[in-house]
Structure formats: structure tokens, C-alpha cells
Structure 1
């Protein structure tokens, strides 16, 4: 059983809205020691067998938000320098860590990562039969079981979540779009070969399949945090009357957006 502290997702949020809190698990010391030992072995195995998503900058040594932004904007700059236009879609997941399905994760560890036997049984034991209570000040809630999710605040949680997302990279590669992950934030981008709406078909097909995969894996896209920028072209009419699996693209189009903590604009001025 872990005790979850009620922590704000961001400062200055309304404390009366439960969605503004993030559950952070306070785990026992011995649990963290064991998790660290397992983490080191699992990470070593992943590195040796090049299993990790190559375009994931979260939860990875020598990677950060900066490496994610540098790669994406280098590609966008190259397109702009050649006189072309690009579209960038920023996607975010809702409570991603909390909705991970244990059965699917174990299947992923077996089929995509290659864990079997005693090792797989250990992870099955690690995920199941967990419970939690919430601590606010000096008050504690009653204990409730946890049926899904990986613990936020744990050592293994972030790595397990990144492995849960492994098939998503294959989908994005299939549609031949540029992409980059940072934890549960996903950036999808591609050059626009013309101003016709047909040039967006690969992106629309990609978004459709990403959404279907998310639903099948009990993950949910946060439409409130979905944003689109058009680079190298001040006319965003290319998105007009262009419907997608997440809704009309024009409704998500903005002249600037906050991307991994950095305000970016469609003219690369970075002035905001």
C-alpha cells in the first residue's frame, strides 16, 4: 500500500478542482531500493538490445526537453530554409500514467521487450494487488485498490510507461511523418508539399490511427491541450473544412503555442 500526496500539476491552479491534482506515490524505502536494482538491469537489457523508442527524450539518460525541441525545430528550419511549409501537431495525453492497462503492459513486456519466465512474473507481481490512500495535511482517506496505471513517483513507472508506448512509434513511422516524444507529450510534423488539402492526407490518416491505438490501449488524447502550428505560411486556410479524428483541424490552429515549456510561434521569432 502506498500513500499518495495530493500535488498540484502546475502552480496557481484552482485547488477546488480535483483534476488539477496529480497523485504522487510515497513508497517505502526498501521498495525503492529493489526498484532501483530492477531498473538498472532492465535499462541495461533495453540498451543492449536497442529496444527503446529512438525518438523519446523523456526518462532517458543524456536527453531532455532541449534535445526534443532541437531535433523538431531543426527539421522545421530545414524545410523553411528550402522555401517549404510545415505543419506541427502537439498532442498530449490525459492522466496517461494512471490509465495504463496492466494486462496490455505485461503483454508488451513479453512480446515487444522479450521478458519471459520469472522476470515477467516479477513484473506481474509488481503491478498487481496494489492499494493506496490519499493524504491531505493530517487527513488520510480509506484504502482503495489500484486496478490500472503505473505508480507516479516510482523508479520503474516512467520506464514502464515508455515501453507501453513502443507500438506507437511504429505507427508514426508507417505514415512517414516526423515525430518526437517527451514522456506523454507527442509532436507530429510534416512538410506541406502544396497548399491543397490533399497534402494533409498522410497527417489525417496518422492522427486517425494514433487515436484508434490510444483508445485500444486505454489512453486518451487531451483535446484541450492539442495545438497546431503552420510554419513558413501565414495563410492557415489549408486547415479550413479539414476534419480529423480529433475534430476540425482549424480549431486547433494557433499563431503560437507552448511546447515543452517554450513559447514557439509560426514565424520562428521566439519573442513571447
Structure 2
């Protein structure tokens, strides 16, 4: 702020935050990720959505473990606090736990996506 400056640090990986090319370069970098997962993966800018139609939650947790292996391979990390789970169903959903980096992912009933609010009953 003002005249204050921070110490210089070398960046060895990543894309520039807020750059025009950043989201495109990020999507190109993670382009192989969907091939490691059994769910449907949708990539947009720096956002990843995983979509499943499953009766066995173990499929999802296995994919979350695969995400952790993929991260190690490419030296990236997904932040569990930025990850959310939403069950979209007309029926009630049992309590399930989805784990990423030994952290249970938080569940939500609605989510804003590209300016549209989607809730878990699609109303």
C-alpha cells in the first residue's frame, strides 16, 4: 500500500493471477485430469466440477483419492475448503462423507454457477 513494497520472490510454477491467458493455460495444464476419473469432469477457467450418477459413494471417494495422486504427479494442490458437495435429487439423501486431504468436504444446498443459482432439488 502506498510506498510499502513486499520482498521479491521467484515463482517457479503456476500462471499469473488475474492474467488473460492464466485460465486458458490452467485448463491446458489440467486437461488430462478427466481421464483419471470415473465421474464426468467439467473444466472452465480455474474451476472443476465433478458430476456423478452413482448409488455407491465409494466411487466418488476413490476419485477423490485419485485427485490426490494426480496432484502429487503434477505438483498441484486442491484446497478442500474451496470444494463443495451438492446432491441433486428429488429424494432425500443419506448423510455421506467425501474426503479430500483427510478433510470432509462441506455440503451445500445451492450453488451459484456462471451467474445462475442451482439448488439441490432443481427448483
TM over 0.5: yes
Query: CA separation of 1:254/1:137 partners in 2, compared to 1, >3 Å: closer, same or farther?
Result: same
Which structure carries more relative contact order (alpha carbon 8 Å, separation 6+)? 1
Q: Does residue 244 of structure 1 match 2:96?
A: no
Higher radius of gyration, 1 or 2? 1
Q: TM-score, structure 2 length as denominator?
A: 0.76
Q: Distance in 2 between matches of 1:142 and 1:190?
A: 45
The number of equivalent residue pairs is: 123
Contact persistence 2:80–2:103 (CA under 8 A): no
RMSD: 2.6
Q: TM-score, structure 1 length as denominator?
A: 0.39
**What secondary structure sits across from 2:32 in the alignment?**
helix
Query: CA separation of 1:190/1:263 partners in 2, compared to 1, >3 Å: closer, same or farther?
Result: same
**What secondary structure sits across from 1:230 in the alignment?**
coil
Match of 1:235 among 92, 106, 111: 92
Name the one with the larger helix percent: 1
**For 1:152-189, what per-residue CA distance to the aligned partner results, in whole angstroms no more than 9, with x for missing partners?**
344543332222112212213xx2x2221112211111
Unpaired stretches in structure 2, ≥5 consecutive residues? none
Q: Distance in 2 between matches of 1:238 and 1:248?
A: 16
1:149 corresponding residue in structure 2: 14
